[in-house]
Structure 1
């Protein structure tokens, strides 16, 4: 019994904090970790403002498949996750790898790629005038990456019922669905994702989504003409595409949503009531804070299916598993 107790004490001492996420996880082992990530993200966003949205999207897509374990970054397996249809258009991989390379030079084999993704998303939000917040760290990188596992990713054409079910399956509520959809307040989308909504919305391939405000529909069609360039891009948050704010929820409520999945938030009494709460006469003095609620939701999302302790590894290169 004495030997077992001693062994338990040793394991607890050497691995304390390895099994739960905590703010400041690298405080003693790699104190410059968060500042290194911030510097890389700041430079990337300065040279490409749309990179902020790309990094935020990368974190979301990673967490919704196999949990927040950097599986989205792998590109050496035969069928890596990043090749899934649901992940098309993702970018920013080189920014994460740039941060990883600097971290490996300063703190070899200590900071996981999964944590870099979470920190980069946090910094991207702050750099677009969004809320600042602390990120619990201590994630480990996963051992699996396969495109077939991305089937549960939310799609722009999903109904509100399907969207709610997919979020619930990840432990996220209808309120989280609204708030995390509001992350579309920054960034752009391709006309490719607009074709069905603008020209083939009804069975038989005719008509436009009636949820689109009649004053907005001609503008969308002008930017994404039928048989036009499907790679042309437009801001997802009309009128405020570079600032992280709640303006996109106002657009959704008024029929100015660009993405079909965002518009569907108006189809459900519960998701609609969440949006309405941020625009009540009592807000912002007495009503809920969009910024505070968003932070709560993204921190919660960042803990989906995390691997900690001995359940994962710390990759030396984010795009491949350690040999």
Structure 2
């Protein structure tokens, strides 16, 4: 009964925050007009359907899940990598698998994409599905589903996915500069999410994916030794955590867990770490220092069920970001690394 009461209070708290911010947004352009927390997690964009492959490619989700499980079993670090790969894809041209195109000047060749992993997993799944259902399942649908399955295999929630995304034919490295690098302000992050139809709650909840995975030491060096040109560490870092990071990141070539408490478990310790000033990236810790995002962190840090439920909702919204031009001129790639043909 206590758990139910606590969950109810947390939901009411989140709804109250959403209402307050939607009212405040009219007076502050940096805030978003937010929808209710009770968004339908199974709703989807026109043209997408949960039953699309039921007849054309039976057991498509089973094929994808088994392949992801096979890879993640061999290398658990691929789970967060697949989630990140999906995010990088969707925040640029929508979820059109443009991040998978492998040619000179593509998103994949950009500096921000150098640490991306999981391409081989998608290639393996695509090869299997091409044998089973030629020219039927898009690479974009595969990537979206693989991110969901990776989340489940890491201990996170399951959600239903509508299908029908087309694979885009354009991928530009210069556009990849719009992907967050871990040093952006909360305002910049909110603006990016707003431009994609996502809100502040989605920003905080999707940042919770950092409960698993690693980041490069290079991305945090400025916080450890020369924050904003002061030649001192970022004062917002917990001193004990600072010592830990300095030992782990003596050089820029190493990696460090995003969640120092439970790095391999998909849980709410990411939010608890923020309260302890143990957010790894500047963009992580700033979620607790900014008044627009802090209330959501407070509402989530002790409610696993609430985090899991809302993560599902926000991931559906992320996966449903579609660019009209990309979809209109899109295709079903035979090979996820290249377009089928080029128009003259």
Aligned match of 1:202 in 220, 223, 228?
228
- C-alpha root-mean-square deviation of aligned residues, in Å? 1.8
Aligned match of 2:330 in 285, 288, 312?
312
Superposed displacement of residue 154, structure 1: 1.4
Superposed displacement of residue 153, structure 1: 1.1
Superposed displacement of residue 19, structure 1: 5.3
1:263 is aligned to 2:289: no
Query: In 1, Cα distance between the equivalents of 2:78 and 2:204?
Result: 22
Superposed displacement of residue 111, structure 1: 0.2
Query: In 2, Cα distance between the equivalents of 1:196 and 1:187?
Result: 20
State which drifts further: 258-267 or 35-44: 258-267
Query: In 2, Cα distance between the equivalents of 1:42 and 1:84?
Result: 29
1:309/1:166 Cα in 2 relative to 1: closer, same or farther (>3 Å)?
A: closer
- Work out whether residues 97 and 167 of structure 2, in 8 Å CA contact, stay in contact via their aligned partners in 1: yes
Q: Which residue of 2 aligns with 1:61?
A: 88
Superposed displacement of residue 267, structure 1: 2.3
Q: Which has the larger radius of gyration?
A: 1
Query: In 2, Cα distance between the equivalents of 1:313 and 1:270?
Result: 40
Superposed displacement of residue 306, structure 1: 4.7
Q: Which residue of 1 aligns with 2:135?
A: 109
- Work out whether residues 45 and 320 of structure 2, in 8 Å CA contact, stay in contact via their aligned partners in 1: no
Alignment of 1:296-307 (within 5 A): 296-306=313-323
Superposed displacement of residue 160, structure 1: 1.2
Q: Which residue of 1 aligns with 2:97?
A: 70
Superposed displacement of residue 210, structure 1: 1.1
Superposed displacement of residue 202, structure 1: 2.2
Q: Which residue of 1 aligns with 2:25?
A: none
Normalized against structure 2, the TM-score is what?
0.83
Aligned match of 1:233 in 239, 242, 255?
255
1:19/1:164 Cα in 2 relative to 1: closer, same or farther (>3 Å)?
A: closer
Aligned match of 1:252 in 252, 274, 292?
274
State which drifts further: 303-312 or 253-262: 303-312
Count of residue pairs brought into register by the alignment: 297
Superposed displacement of residue 22, structure 1: 1.9
Superposed displacement of residue 86, structure 1: 2.1
Normalized against structure 1, the TM-score is what?
0.88
1:269/1:155 Cα in 2 relative to 1: closer, same or farther (>3 Å)?
A: same
- Work out whether residues 140 and 306 of structure 1, in 8 Å CA contact, stay in contact via their aligned partners in 2: no
**Structure 2, unpaired ranges of 5+:** 1-43
Query: In 2, Cα distance between the equivalents of 1:106 and 1:303?
Result: 26
- Work out whether residues 130 and 334 of structure 2, in 8 Å CA contact, stay in contact via their aligned partners in 1: yes
Q: Which residue of 1 aligns with 2:118?
A: 92
**Structure 1, unpaired ranges of 5+:** 1-16
